[in-house]
Amino acid sequence: MRLTTILRYAAAVAALATGLYAQKPVLTEDFESGKIDSSVWDTRQKGGETIAVEAADGAHGKFALHVHYPENERGAYAFIVATHLPDSVRSHFFGRAYMKISPSAPPKSHAPLIFTGEPGWPLSKFQEIGMSNGDWMPSFQENKSTGPARGEDTHRSSTEPPADKWFLLEWEFNDNPTTITIWVDGQVVSNKVNGQDVTVVPLIWPKPKPTDVTPVESKTSNLTGGYQEWGFGNRVWQVPAPAMDVYYDDIAISTTRIGPVK
């Protein structure tokens, strides 16, 4: 199967799914309990970055999840992770989150925000929505292995997240073929793949070499091995970096596109 065929197939699947909003979400969280529910969420934290449910202006209710990255903190992250996703979303799901990212100039380095994949993040195989150079960056991350088997397939867009205001982020994670689609306030985010503008980002691992005779389809499906975890928060890979605050509210995942809160 050629890469162009995979791109067309993934785009067709996404187009069909875009209009479907009927299914009830399989997991939701509005944080109105005022705390992180430890029966649902595993907190993973390193260094000085913090994560907590707090009162937040502009949130849909009184509370939202607040992740704070201190200026120039090195190697820090803070995420909450749902570790037992149901079988219905093991290979394909849609998500929604209301977000606010401050300040208006986020870190220029790789800054992960949302991931899904096998157990053990950050040392696992997973798909990710993050930022790079201040723009959206969908990617596949192979952090489980060491040596040449470890690496990433990244696709930097030229679109910045809205700054200092609440916005609606939606996404579609698919592992057959392995792709990511992102919407911001209902508008799809475009990325360039092999010089083409695409809205459904295909992910390949390991990256093909000119002498590689392995069929490309073996590198474009089931890269994560099934979605068992889903997490969100913030991490900044390099310094110097400014202080950063990320807020999340009214998050949900489903087998079909969810859309805004009604």
- 229 SS3 class: strand
* Cα 176 from Cα 231, distance rounded (Å): 20
Tell me the C-alpha to C-alpha distance, in Å, between residue 14 and each of 11, 75, 146, 180, 223: 5, 35, 34, 10, 19
Specify the CATH number for the domain of residue 142.
2.60.120.200
Within 13 Å of residue 60, how many CA atoms lie on the same side as its CB?
17
Backbone angles phi, psi at 183, to 5 degrees: -120, 140
Pairing of strands 135-142, 167-175: unpaired
What is the rounded distance in angstroms from the CA atom of residue 184 to the CA atom of residue 161? Answer: 8
Assigned domain for 221 exists:
yes
259 belongs to a structural domain: no
Look at residue 261 and tell me if it is in a domain.
no
In a domain, 154, yes or no: yes
Q: How far is CA 61 from CA 33, 65, 162, 249, in A?
A: 10, 11, 21, 9
| pLDDT for position 9 | 45
Phi, psi for residue 14 in degrees, rounded to 5? -65, -40
> How many CB atoms lie under 10 A from the CB of residue 246?
22
User: Would you say residue 262 lies in a domain?
Assistant: no
Amino acid found at 57? D
Q: How many domains is the chain built from?
A: 1
Residue 262: what pLDDT?
Answer: 80
Alpha-carbon dihedral angle through residues 191, 70, 51, 55, given to the nearest 10 degrees? -100
pTM: 0.89
Residue 53 and residue 35: Cα distance in Å, rounded?
A: 5
Q: Which domain holds residue 60?
A: 3-254
Domain assignment present for 260:
no
Between CA 237 and CA 252 the distance in angstroms is 27
Q: Residue 7 belongs to what H/E stretch?
A: helix 3-18
CB atoms inside a 10 Å sphere around CB 157: 18
Residue 236 CA to residue 16 CA, distance in Å, equals: 35
What string of DSSP letters covers 96-131?
Answer: EEEEEEESSS--SS-EEEEEEESSSTTSSEEEEEEE
Could you give the CA distance from residue 239 to residue 112 in angstroms, rounded to a whole number?
14
Q: Domain for residue 43, yes or no?
A: yes
Tens of pLDDT, residue by residue, the chain (262 residues): 444 444 444 444 444 444 445 579 999 999 999 999 999 999 999 999 999 999 999 999 999 999 999 998 988 999 999 999 999 999 999 999 999 999 877 788 899 999 999 999 999 999 999 999 889 999 999 999 999 899 999 998 989 999 999 999 999 999 999 999 999 999 999 988 887 889 999 999 998 876 665 656 668 999 999 999 999 999 998 878 889 999 999 999 999 999 999 8
